[in-house]
Chains A and B, each alone.
Chain A
Amino acid sequence: MRPILAIVISAAAALGLTEPGHADPAAGKAIFEAKGCNACHYTQGPAREKTIADQLAKKGPELWYAGSKFQKAWLAKWLTEPKPIRPLAFNSLTEENKGDHPKLSAEEAAKVTDFLMTLTSDVVKPGSVKPKKSAKGRLIFVKKMPCSGCHAFPSRKKFKGGRSGPSLVGAGERLNPDWILAYLQNPKVFKPVKMMPVFVGILSPKDMKQVAGYVATFKAKK
């Protein structure tokens, strides 16, 4: 290959990297750090929390498995228009969530999303859960287990769920269904100390799959 051609090709490749739509996790990581996101969110696993005090010391959710937990399109959009997911402030039972999460531009959000989507956990098995509105899943979520006691959910009934946990309204657009199941099955991997009960040994693996599939159908608007 003639040197001049090689230069043209590599220049094109370099340009290609900066085109919108092309994943740029390194740029996203730089933005994440420059904006100080890691003051509230840690991005390196495994989970560090060992005690309640460790959990309470955190200012925001851990993101070291964000790429396995979130849906990419939702994440990129949310970072540009961050609306509260938790009714209450993180780690608080008395303070409302002020909805003051920093906002990113669409370009920054796309890059940060590329970075966060590289943070994955191999405990999450792709393709293990399909969104499914099963009667069994609903029965467990609303009646047999008290999921709705702490999590808001889309319901036509009067009771639309509790407020101490993250809202699950729109969970079908926000969360990766496979992560929901992995989290129910291996809660300690993701959140060793959390306000939510451990259901391992209480719900069967089959029940967990049905709940995960049911939660994955939750839309943002009814």
Chain B
Amino acid sequence: MHLNRAIAALAGLLAALALAVPAHAIDIEQVYKFYCAQCHGLTGKGDGPNVGADFPVSPRNFTNAAEMNKLSDADIKNVILDGGPAASKSPMMPPWGKTLTAEEVDGLVKHLRKLCKCKGKQG
């Protein structure tokens, strides 16, 4: 009887875990491709489909380590949350603060660091 209950409890726990895991495991590359790639491009070169010859600005090329190193993680986070003007850049970069979760924003900062293979301005 006790064993049965223990097995039932374990099974319940496993089921709960199975349900809980996908909710937490965000696929940050998918998040990047869904929101950011429209302008920054699928590989981060700043060449998304919106960027035609007449596009008024050049979206940041995330693979340019020299440029990306000028920004701290906090700078990147602020621009994602509040848009280009938060870093005196173009309002063509929208504020995503009301769209993305905190976890997605943090994940995106890390993802951009992966794309630039750089650590950025420290402190």
A residues near B, CB below 8 A? 52-53, 55-56, 87-88, 93-94, 143-146, 149-150, 158-160, 162-164, 195, 197-202
Contacts and interface: CB of A to CB of B under 8 A. Distances in A.
B50 A200 contact: no
Contacts of A164: 38-39, 48-50
Contacts of B97: 202
Given A88-B49, A159-B54, 5 more contacts: A53-B30, A55-B34, A146-B90, A162-B49, A197-B96
Contacts of B99: 197-198
Contact of B98 (A52, A162, A195, A197): A197
Contacts of B55: 149, 159, 162
Interface in B15-68: 27, 30-31, 33-35, 37-39, 42, 48-52, 54-56
Contacts of A53: 30
A202 to B, nearest CB: 6
B4 to A, nearest CB: 35
Q: Which label, helix, strand, loop or mixed, suits the secondary structure of the A interface?
A: loop
A145 B42 contact: no
Contacts, number: 71
Contacts of A144: 91
A195 B35 contact: yes
Contacts of A56: 34
Given A52-B34, A93-B42, A94-B42, A149 B49 contact: no
Which of A52, A53, A149, A159 gathers the greatest number of chain B CB atoms within 10 Å?
A149
Contacts of B35: 195
A149 B50 contact: yes
B115 to A, nearest CB: 16
Contact of A52 (B30, B37, B93): B30
Q: Which label, helix, strand, loop or mixed, suits the secondary structure of the B interface?
A: loop
Contacts of B39: 149-150, 162, 164
4 tightest A-B CB contacts, nearest first: A162-B50, A164-B38, A198-B98, A159-B54
A122 to B, nearest CB: 24
A180 to B, nearest CB: 18
Contacts of B42: 93-94
A148 B39 CA distance: 12
A93 B37 contact: yes
B107 interface: no
Nearest to B31: A52
A145 B94 CA distance: 7
A65 B92 CA distance: 30
28 contacts: A52-B27, A52-B31, A55-B34, A87-B49, A93-B38, A93-B48, A94-B49, A143-B91, A146-B83, A146-B90, A146-B91, A149-B50, A149-B55, A158-B54, A159-B54, A159-B56, A162-B38, A162-B39, A162-B49, A162-B51, A162-B52, A163-B49, A164-B39, A197-B94, A197-B98, A197-B99, A199-B98, A200-B98
